[in-house]
Amino acid sequence: MGSCAAMAAGFGLLLFLAVTTPFCFGANVTYDHRALVIDGKRRVLVSGSIHYPRSTPEMWPDLIQKSKDGGLDVIETYVFWNLHEPVRGQYDFEGRKDLVKFVKLVKEAGLLVHLRIGPYVCAEWNYGGFPLWLHFIPGIVLRTDNEPFKAEMKRFTAKIVDMMKQENLYASQGGPIILSQIENEYGNIDSAYGSSAKTYINWAAAMATSLDTGVPWVMCQQSDAPNPIINTCNGFYCDQFTPNSNNKPKMWTENWSGWFSSFGDPLPYRPVEDLAFSVARFYQLGGTFQNYYMYHGGTNFGRSTGGPFIATSYDYDAPIDEYGLLRQPKWGHLKDVHKAIKLCEEAMVATDPKTTSLGSNLEATVYKTGSGQCAAFLANVGTQSDATVKFNGNSYNLPAWSVSILPDCKNVVLNTAKINSVSTITKFVHQPSKDDTTATDAFGSGWSWINEPIGISSDSAFTKPGLLEQINTTADQSDYLWYSLSIEMKGDEPFLEDGSQTVLHVNSLGHVLYAFINGKLAGSGKGGSSNSKVSIDVPISLQPGKNKIDLLSLTVGLANYGAFFDTRGAGITGPVQLKSSKNGSTIDLSSQQWTYQIGLKGEELGLASGTSSLWTTEPTLPKNQPLVWYKTTFDAPSGSSPVALDFTGLGKGQAWINGQSIGRYWPTNIAGNSGCTDSCNYRGSYSASKCLKNCGKPSQQLYHVPRSWLKPSGNILVLFEEMGGNPTQLSFATRETQSICSRISENHPLPVDMWTSDDETRKTAGPTLSLACPLANQVISKIRFASFGTPRGTCGSFSHSRCSSKMARSIVEKACIGSRSCSIGVSVNTFGDPCAGITKSLAVEASCT
C-alpha cells in the first residue's frame, strides 16, 4: 500500500525508521487538547502555504525543498475548484493543476500536507474558487443551507477526497495528508445568512466527516465548529485564541506573513521581527500548529486573480519570494525560530503551559515536566521600552515586542527581535531591450500587430433592451463586454447647437470602462480595491446623422470575499446619459436597444497563441493606440535566474508567452501617495496597512515569466493592449542577488545551531556573524563593507561611525573571501576594542560570484 511503516516492518527496521524518519508512516492521526497526535505522539508542527497553481511544476521541488530547509514540517494548500472543474463535470488536473503530483512531491521531500479543500477558499482567487457555472444552477444560493449548492459542494469535496484516497495520499494510508479543511472563515460572515448558517455549517461538518479520510478536519474562524471538527484561528496574531472545546488543540491556520497587493495600491510588507514575535507568542501560550499564509505566494497567472483589482503578483512578502528566491532575513530568521521552538518540543507536548507575570507587559511561560524537562518563553509585549527581567534567579534583557526562548529554562537560544540570519539584497538586472532607436536582440524579429475592432464584430453579438449586468452576461468567459448603441442625431438637438458641449455620462459597477465615440477613444475610468464602481463624464462631439457609442466594460478579477460576494455585480448598469453642458438637458440612453458582444474578436480568433495568419507588420507599427494585439519573438535571457517582463511603456492588458497567460498587466495603475513608510516600526500590532512601500509608483511593473515556459530561442510573446502603449519599450529582467549582509551585536544570542546548555562550552562561544552565498556554486568574492564598533545604517547602506575597529575589513576578508560561507566571532577578542564601555556590533556587506 505504499505505507512506510509496513515497508519498514518488512525489513525489520521499524524502530530505526521510527526514530530517524518521523514522517514516514501509515499513520494514525488524532488530536487531544494539546496537539495533533501522530502515531500516538503529540507533535509541535510548523506549516507553510504554497498554492500549487501559483507556480509551475518545475518550480515545485525547489519550493518544497526550501520549505523543508526553512524548518517546515507541513505544506498547506487550498484546492481550487474553478481550476479543476471549469465546465461542470469536466475535470482538469494537468500541469499547474496537477494536485496529486504536488502532494506526492511534498511526500517525497518527507513533509506532511494540510489539504484545505474548501471548496470555497477566498485566497484572492477569482470568485473565491467557485466555478461560475454554480451561479447559474436554478434555485442555488451559495454557502448556505441550500440543496442545489450542498449537492455540488459535496460532489466536488468527495471527488477530491476520492482522488487522494485512490493515490493513498492520506496519512492513514501511508500518505502525507494529516489534516483537511472544510469551508473557510464562514464564521466571519455567517450572520448575514441568518439561522440557515448554523444548519449549513453542521451539514458541512457531517458531510466532511462522512467522507472518512482517517485524518482530522478543521474549520477556520468558525467558533461554533461542531465536534469532531477543530476550530482554528486566522490572523496576524493568534496567541489569545482558544478552541471551542477542552479536547481540541490550539491551531493557527493562517499567520499572514505579509499581505496581498492590489492594482492601484502600495505594497504591504511585514517586518520579520513582528512575524517571529507572533509565532513565538503562539507557541508560548499553548499553540502547537502554526501555518504561514503564505510561505511562497507566487503569481496569479491567467485570469485567476480575485478581488476585484488583485494584482498579478501574489508575492505576499512571504519568506520565499514570488520568483522562488529566499527572502532574507525573513526566511533565515524564521528558520532559527523554528529550530528554537523544536528544541522545546518535548517539554511542550508533555505538559500544559504555566504563565506568570514578571511585571507590566512582561510574561514568563514555563513548560515543566515531572521528569525534569523544562522549556521557557519570556515575553515583553510592551511596544516602547526594553526591559530587564529576573527569571529563576537570572536576569534577562528583553527588547520591546519580543520573545526569548529558553529550551532549558535557563539559557536563551533566540530572541525574536535579534536576527542572526544573513540578509540579502536582490535586484532585477535588465537585459538589453529594444526601443525606437537602438536595435538589440531582445526582441529579434520585431513586432507585428492586429487591430481589435472597436465595437461589435462577432456573429454571436445580440441585442437587448436596457443595460445588462456584466457577470451574469459573460459568465466570466472573458474580461470584456461591449455595450454598443447607434443613435441618430437629427441636427436640431440642443447638443448639436453651436458652442454646446455634449457630455457622455456613464455609471458602472466596475471595474474598468473605455468609451468610444464614432470609433475614437473618448474617455475611460477605473475603480479601485476599495470601491470598484466607475463613473465617467466625458466631453464628446456628436455629428448629425448616425453616431456610434461603443462602451467596453472590463472586469479585473471577480470578488472573493464577504457575505454573498458571489452576487456582487459588475458592468454598466446605468444610467448612460447624454447631457448638454449648456442648457442642462439630458437624454437617457439606459433603456435603449443595446447590442452586446461578450469578449474580443481576438479572443474568438485565438490570437493569444500567436499562430494566426492575420498578423501584419504593415504599414507601420501602431503606438499609443487603444485595442491593439502585438506579437514578437525573442530568445530567452541567458543564465538560469528567474525571469520577469518589465512592462514599461504599456498601459493595461494581458500577455501570453508561447500561448501561456502570464496574467493581466497594468503598469499605468499607480499607487497612491500616502501611507508609505521608509522603515516600519515592527513594535506594536501589525495591520495590513501599517507597513507600505512603493507609493506613487506602479503597483506592478514586473511580471513573472516562469523559466520553464521559455525555450532558448524562438519564443512567442503576444500582448493585448487596451489603453494604448509602445511595445518596443518592453524589456526582460532577471532576478539576482546583489549582495549579502549581516549585523550582529555583542549581546546577540549564539547562532541557534551552536546552542548548548553546557555552561563550559557556552563560556568559550559567543555571538557569531555568519554569511553564506545563496547559490551552491557561488563564493564570497568581495567585502563591500565591514565595521566592528557602532556602524550606522541598514543592510545595503551601512556606514562607519567614529567607533570602528581598524582591523575589521582585513579580518573579515581573510575569513570569507573565496568561501561560500564564513563565520566570525563578534568580540573584542577578535577585533580589539575601538570604544570601551559601549556595546559593539559587527556589520558586513559582501558580494557573491
- For residues 561 and 555, what is the distance between their CA atoms, to the nearest angstrom? 16
With respect to ligand GAL, which residue has the nearer C-beta, 121 or 177?
121
Q: Does 291 bind ligand GAL (CB under 6 A)?
A: no
Hey, which residues between 248 and 267 contact ligand GAL (CB under 6 A)? 254, 260
- For residues 515 and 536, what is the distance between their CA atoms, to the nearest angstrom? 9
Least CB distance to ligand GAL at residue 161 (A): 20
- Show the cell assigned to 8: 519498514
Stretch that binds ligand GAL, among 122-130, 362-370, 461-469, 658-666 (CB under 6 A): 122-130
Question: What spatial distance separates the first Cα and last Cα of the chain, rounded to whole Å?
Answer: 47
Cα 310 vs. chain centroid, distance in angstroms? 11
DSSP run (H or E) holding 462: strand 462-465
- The verdict on whether 254 is a catalytic residue reads yes
What does the H/E/C string look like for 464-489?
EECCCCHHHHHCCCCCEEEEEEEEEE
Least CB distance to ligand GAL at residue 768 (A): 37
Least CB distance to ligand GAL at residue 688 (A): 8
- For residues 69 and 335, what is the distance between their CA atoms, to the nearest angstrom? 8
**Strand-pair category, 387-391 with 394-398:** antiparallel
With respect to ligand GAL, which residue has the nearer C-beta, 560 or 715?
560
Whether 392 contacts 374, CB under 8 Å: no
Least CB distance to ligand GAL at residue 314 (A): 9
With respect to ligand GAL, which residue has the nearer C-beta, 122 or 536?
122
With respect to ligand GAL, which residue has the nearer C-beta, 123 or 710?
123
Hey, which residues between 199 and 238 contact ligand GAL (CB under 6 A)? 234
- For residues 811 and 334, what is the distance between their CA atoms, to the nearest angstrom? 29
374-380: strand order across its sheet: 354-359, 362-368, 374-380, 402-406, 414-415
With respect to ligand GAL, which residue has the nearer C-beta, 184 or 547?
184
Q: Give the amino acid at 706.
A: P
Which candidate in 185, 452, 493, 603 is catalytic? 185
Stretch that binds ligand GAL, among 119-127, 464-472, 539-547, 551-559 (CB under 6 A): 119-127
DSSP letter, residue 400: T
Q: Does 513 bind ligand GAL (CB under 6 A)?
A: no
With respect to ligand GAL, which residue has the nearer C-beta, 49 or 734?
49
Q: Does 699 bind ligand GAL (CB under 6 A)?
A: no
Q: Does 123 bind ligand GAL (CB under 6 A)?
A: yes
Least CB distance to ligand GAL at residue 47 (A): 14
Hey, which residues between 659 and 688 contact ligand GAL (CB under 6 A)? none
Residue 491's Cβ-side half-sphere holds a number of Cα atoms within 13 Å equal to: 2
Cα 444 vs. chain centroid, distance in angstroms? 34
- For residues 211 and 268, what is the distance between their CA atoms, to the nearest angstrom? 39
Stretch that binds ligand GAL, among 58-66, 121-129, 390-398, 741-749 (CB under 6 A): 121-129
- For residues 184 and 464, what is the distance between their CA atoms, to the nearest angstrom? 39
Q: Give the amino acid at 832.
A: G
Closest CA to 419 of 58, 145, 715, 770: 770
Q: Does 185 bind ligand GAL (CB under 6 A)?
A: yes
Phi first, then psi, for residue 787 (nearest 5°) are -150, 130
Task: For cell 499547474, name the residue.
Answer: 96
122, 741, 750, 808: which one binds ligand GAL (CB under 6 A): 122
Give the x/- contact pattern for ligand GAL in 620-659, rule: CB under 6 A: ----------------------------------------
With respect to ligand GAL, which residue has the nearer C-beta, 222 or 284?
222
- Show the cell assigned to 221: 474562524
- For residues 701 and 694, what is the distance between their CA atoms, to the nearest angstrom? 11
The number of residues that bind ligand GAL (CB under 6 A) is: 9
Least CB distance to ligand GAL at residue 300 (A): 12
With respect to ligand GAL, which residue has the nearer C-beta, 185 or 265?
185
Least CB distance to ligand GAL at residue 221 (A): 7
Least CB distance to ligand GAL at residue 691 (A): 15
Least CB distance to ligand GAL at residue 68 (A): 24
Least CB distance to ligand GAL at residue 197 (A): 17
Q: Does 184 bind ligand GAL (CB under 6 A)?
A: yes
- For residues 316 and 268, what is the distance between their CA atoms, to the nearest angstrom? 8
With respect to ligand GAL, which residue has the nearer C-beta, 34 or 330?
330
- The verdict on whether 452 is a catalytic residue reads no
Q: Give the amino acid at 88.
A: R
Whether 824 contacts 768, CB under 8 Å: yes
Q: Does 596 bind ligand GAL (CB under 6 A)?
A: no
- For residues 503 and 515, what is the distance between their CA atoms, to the nearest angstrom? 12
- Show the cell assigned to 260: 496581498
User: Which three-class secondary structure state does DSSP give residue 163?
Assistant: helix
Hey, which residues between 59 and 118 contact ligand GAL (CB under 6 A)? none
Closest CA to 322 of 550, 774, 751, 643: 643
- Show the cell assigned to 594: 443595446
- Show the cell assigned to 372: 525534569
Least CB distance to ligand GAL at residue 252 (A): 12
Name the residue whose CB lies closest to ligand GAL: 122
Least CB distance to ligand GAL at residue 233 (A): 11
Nearest-5° Cα angle at 282, 281 to 284: 60
Respond yes or no on whether the N-terminal peptide bond of residue 216 is cis (omega within 30° of 0): no
Which candidate in 183, 254, 363, 722 is catalytic? 254
Hey, which residues between 436 and 495 contact ligand GAL (CB under 6 A)? none
- Show the cell assigned to 835: 570604544
Q: Does 124 bind ligand GAL (CB under 6 A)?
A: yes
With respect to ligand GAL, which residue has the nearer C-beta, 254 or 452?
254
Least CB distance to ligand GAL at residue 529 (A): 13
- For residues 247 and 266, what is the distance between their CA atoms, to the nearest angstrom? 43
Hey, which residues between 321 and 360 contact ligand GAL (CB under 6 A)? none
**Strand-pair category, 731-745 with 502-508:** unpaired
Helix-helix angle 60-69:99-108, to 10 degrees: 40
Interacting residue ranges for ligand GAL, rule: CB under 6 A? 121-124, 184-185, 234, 254, 260
Q: Give catalytic residues, as residue numbers.
A: 185, 254
